[in-house]
Each structure stands twice: as C-alpha cells, then as structure tokens.
Structure 1
Amino acid sequence: MMMYWYGHGTSGWAWLWMTAGNLLFWAALIAVAVLLFRSVLRPGTHAGAHPGWSAPPPPGGPDAEQILAERYARGEIDEEEYRRRLDTLRGSRSGPAEN
C-alpha cells in the first residue's frame, strides 16, 4: 500500500531552497550575535573599557582654542589672525580686563 508519497526523494529545487534557507538562517544568527556582542562591549559603557579604545568626548565639546586651531588648519583664517585671536583668548583666561 502506498503512503501518499508523490515521489521518491526531493527534487533539485527543494535542495536549493533548503540550502539557501540554511545559509540565511546561520547568517542572520551570526549577525545578531555580532551586533549583540558589539553593543555590550561598547567603549565607555562600563568601567572595564578596553585600553585601546578612545575615551568618550568631553561633555562641553571642543574649547575655543581647538575651534580656532581647526579654522586655521582649514585655511579659513591666516596666521596673523590666528595668533591675534589666540593671544586674545589666552589673555582673557587670566581674568577680567583691567580698565
């Protein structure tokens, strides 16, 4: 008596779809594991950060001297203006200007 089989084995297309499905499953599983691993070990999220990773940026952003140096490096201002503004910045840090 036949057990309602429509053939003896699977066709080539079935093997192709099973192989593709298997590859997609494992690729998705590995991608989720990598993303989870990277999110858990993100630098700055815990006390034991990896020593080779950079520290998080300072909370206030770049200071005025850094911005001035970046503008000079990009060529937005010339050396004379850079030095004049740098002297002004450094002079204003010592305290209020005397009248």
Structure 2
Amino acid sequence: MDIDVKKVAMLARIRLTDSEADELGPQLGGILGYIEKLSEVNTEGVAPTAHPHDAAMPLRANVVTNSNRRDALQAIAPRVESGLYVVPKVIE
C-alpha cells in the first residue's frame, strides 16, 4: 500500500518535514492495514452498539438550576438599554 503522507498532511493542514513524512509513512500504512483487516471481520447478526459495555448511565433530573440573574449582572454595567449592554462604537 503506497501512501502519499505529504498529501494526507496537506489535506489535514499539518506541516511535515521530509524526515517526518518518511517516519510516518510506515506508521500510517500499518494503521490502514489494520483497518483493512478489521473490515474482513464477519459482523453479520451483530447488533450495533454505542458502547462496548452494557452499562446504563445515571441521568440527573431535568430541572432548571440557574435563575435569571440578568438584572443583578447588568446593575454594575455603565450603560444598559432594553436589557442589552450598550458599548461605544469602535468601527466607523
């Protein structure tokens, strides 16, 4: 399997030196070879799962815990209008 590491690095927006590309070529080839080997595994009749372990995650109650503190937070602002912070114009 011939992999152009420089092209993959360019697509991923990763800057590589020539020596790094030479070192990563066999590693990337090994990873892709392992993926090919996994695709040969017979998975017929195996239900897809979201997690390898059959464990249920505890859920918390869906209760609002933060109150509306807008008035308290805006009380220290230099200028507020209709519930919005008013700031000086910086772009003309």
Shorter-chain TM range is under 0.3
What TM-score do the two structures reach when normalised by structure 1? 0.26
Identify, as 1 or 2, the structure richer in strand.
Answer: 2
* Structure in which a larger fraction of residues adopt helix: 1
Higher relative contact order (CA 8 A, sep 6+): 2
